[in-house]
Amino acid sequence: MPDFIKRPDAEFDAWQDNFVTKVNLYKAGWGLSADALAEWTLLTVTPGDKKAEWMVRWAKVKSGEFTHSDIVFKDSSRRSYESGDANNPNDTSLRLFINRYIRHNTKVSDGQKADIGLTIPDENKTPAPGVDGSSVLREVAGQLMKNEHLYQLSLVNTPGVKSLAKGTGVEGIEIFMAFTPPASVIVPPAAKDYAFDGESTGGYYKRQFDEGQEELKAWYKARKRFKGKTKTWGPFSKPWSGTIS
């Protein structure tokens, strides 16, 4: 999703393989409950369930000899394995397991999160001054411009500046995302819940979602990354959001 979970199937398969392998390596020290461990077994080991079904469906398509129905089954198994049903407390998936037991677990170090394939947003970088030393040029804002079926387009720019160019001295504008179920949630997620998702291009950020994410609320925030031997960042924007329809 291009966030920490890769969109292309081949990249997703490599990511999930590393994720499962490394979680199995580290999880003994994470203080997981019996319920969490049972959920992990269901997700990654149980024959015919989430991971096992994905492996079978992906192997068929990867072989190059497949039908249209094989593609449909592959896509369905990936959605189930990757996203699951966020509104069903009895369901599980990679994302649900991460949100329930890993992302906010104080026993999981940032180094371990990086090793298992999660993106660690750095909220503590020193903000860079604008080209003229002002704080205005460090600021960035975003707003949702288009919200279509499984697709959102955001405008990302410097408040009060007509040009959509990144600006002198700006290397890139980073976009971070978080999700909340249900869509009726109006309070933005905590800063630690956002993960790096990509970079704005030409003043816009395009985001395609999977069917398994429909009805969730997608939250965005942005910051500028400045050029230099030592990377520096501007402050995060105020969050903006849109319900995935």
The answer to whether the CB of 74 falls within 8 A of the CB of 57 is: yes
Per-residue pLDDT at 223 exceeds 90: yes
The answer to whether the CB of 223 falls within 8 A of the CB of 146 is: no
pLDDT (0 to 100) of residue 111? 86
Per the domain annotation, does 3 fall within a domain?
no
What's the mean per-residue pLDDT of the chain? 86
User: Both 99 and 146 in a single domain?
Assistant: no
Share of the chain above pLDDT 90, in %: 49
pLDDT (0 to 100) of residue 214? 87
Per-residue pLDDT at 73 exceeds 80: yes
Alpha-carbon distance 40 to 154, whole Å? 36
Per the domain annotation, does 1 fall within a domain?
no
Per the domain annotation, does 56 fall within a domain?
yes
pLDDT (0 to 100) of residue 59? 92
Per the domain annotation, does 36 fall within a domain?
yes
Domain count, the chain: 2
User: Both 143 and 98 in a single domain?
Assistant: no
The domain that holds 210 is classified in CATH as 2.60.40.10
Q: Which two tokens stand for residue 59?
A: 């192997």
Alpha-carbon distance 11 to 37, whole Å? 26
Length of the chain: 245
Q: Which two tokens stand for residue 62?
A: 């990867």
User: Both 142 and 110 in a single domain?
Assistant: no
User: Both 52 and 143 in a single domain?
Assistant: no
User: Both 164 and 81 in a single domain?
Assistant: no
pLDDT (0 to 100) of residue 2? 39
pLDDT (0 to 100) of residue 133? 42
Last residue of a domain, one of 55, 83, 115: 115
> How does DSSP assign 169-194, residue by residue?
TEEEEEEEEEEESSTT--SPPPGGG-
Alpha-carbon distance 202 to 126, whole Å? 25
pLDDT (0 to 100) of residue 125? 47
**Strand bridging mode 217-226 / 170-180:** antiparallel
Per the domain annotation, does 124 fall within a domain?
no
Per-residue pLDDT at 1 exceeds 50: no
Per the domain annotation, does 128 fall within a domain?
no
User: Both 239 and 140 in a single domain?
Assistant: yes
User: Both 20 and 87 in a single domain?
Assistant: yes
Which of 21-25, 71-75, 129-133, 215-219 has the least mean pLDDT?
Answer: 129-133
User: Both 140 and 237 in a single domain?
Assistant: yes
DSSP bridge pairs for 159: none
The helix (H) or strand (E) run that includes residue 145 is strand 141-148
Average pLDDT over residues 81-106: 89
Last residue of a domain, one of 51, 86, 115: 115
User: Both 102 and 140 in a single domain?
Assistant: no
Answer whether the bond into residue 47 is a cis peptide, omega within 30°.
no
Q: What domain range is 229 assigned to?
A: 136-243
User: Both 88 and 148 in a single domain?
Assistant: no
Per-residue pLDDT at 183 exceeds 80: no
pLDDT (0 to 100) of residue 5? 80
Q: Tell me the pLDDT tens digit for each residue of 94-152.
A: 999 998 999 888 899 888 998 898 877 654 444 444 444 444 567 899 999 999 999 99
The sign of the torsion formed by the CA atoms of 44, 105, 25, 198 equals positive
Last residue of a domain, one of 115, 149, 165: 115
Per the domain annotation, does 121 fall within a domain?
no
CB atoms within 10 A of CB 197: 22
Q: Which two tokens stand for residue 160?
A: 């009060």
The answer to whether the CB of 188 falls within 8 A of the CB of 14 is: no
Q: Tell me the pLDDT tens digit for each residue of 136-177.
A: 567 899 999 999 999 999 999 988 788 888 888 899 999 999
The answer to whether the CB of 242 falls within 8 A of the CB of 189 is: no
* Confidence band of 51 (pLDDT split at 50, 70, 90): very high
User: Both 160 and 235 in a single domain?
Assistant: yes
Per-residue pLDDT at 80 exceeds 60: yes
* Confidence band of 191 (pLDDT split at 50, 70, 90): confident
The answer to whether the CB of 179 falls within 8 A of the CB of 213 is: yes
Per the domain annotation, does 125 fall within a domain?
no
The answer to whether the CB of 222 falls within 8 A of the CB of 200 is: yes
